[in-house]
Amino acid sequence: MPKYAKFIKDLLTNNRKLEELETIALPQNCSLKIQRKLLNKLNDPWSFIIPCVIGKGMQEKALEDSGASINVMPYKLFLKLGLEDMRPTRMTIKLEDWSIKKPRGVSEDVLVRVDKLIIPVDFVIIDVDDDVKVPLILGRPFLNTIGALIDPRGYETHLGP
């Protein structure tokens, strides 16, 4: 019989007792973590809507979602803007409702103006329903490009340098 099996058998049949546990003083930061007295973690920064101008002057609203890792545009808006260059892609996107969408492609370097900033943005083009109130989703790459500063405690957002 292996040694570990004999040890466990002896423990279970009360033939063997565990050694007495030793008390160790923990530093304050470890003690607080164990007692869960640290401050609660803040949620990720919220999502917000910003007005923007796409292409040659089309006014749109964009959902700025700090949880999104890509920028998304509906296919109908892509056609409406008259954009022509779309690179095929093999990616699939899992949406919030766990459904999976296959994008039509990726449109690169679409000019988006937010306030005084003009930024080239890469959009993933997908088919969505017509009842979309906010057609564009701009994710973390866009926030990083424009140098956005988000203060979740003060609920403030500063776009641009």
Q: Give pLDDT, residue 107.
A: 92
Q: What is the CATH number of the domain that holds 56?
A: 2.40.70.10
Residue 89: inside a domain: yes
Q: What's the half-sphere exposure (Cβ side, CA atoms, 13 Å) at 53?
A: 8
pLDDT per residue over 121-159, tens digit each? 888 998 887 656 667 777 766 666 666 655 555 556 556
- 88 and 15, same structural domain? no
- 79 and 30, same structural domain? no
- 149 and 80, same structural domain? yes
- 121 and 81, same structural domain? yes
Q: Give pLDDT, residue 87.
A: 92
Q: Give pLDDT, residue 131.
A: 57
pLDDT per residue over 63-105, tens digit each? 777 667 788 888 888 888 888 889 998 988 887 778 888 899 9
Closest CA to 6 of 16, 118, 90, 128: 16
Measured distance CA(89)–CA(107) in Å, rounded:
10
- 53 and 30, same structural domain? no
Find the domain containing 10 and state its range.
Answer: 3-35
Measured distance CA(47)–CA(87) in Å, rounded:
28
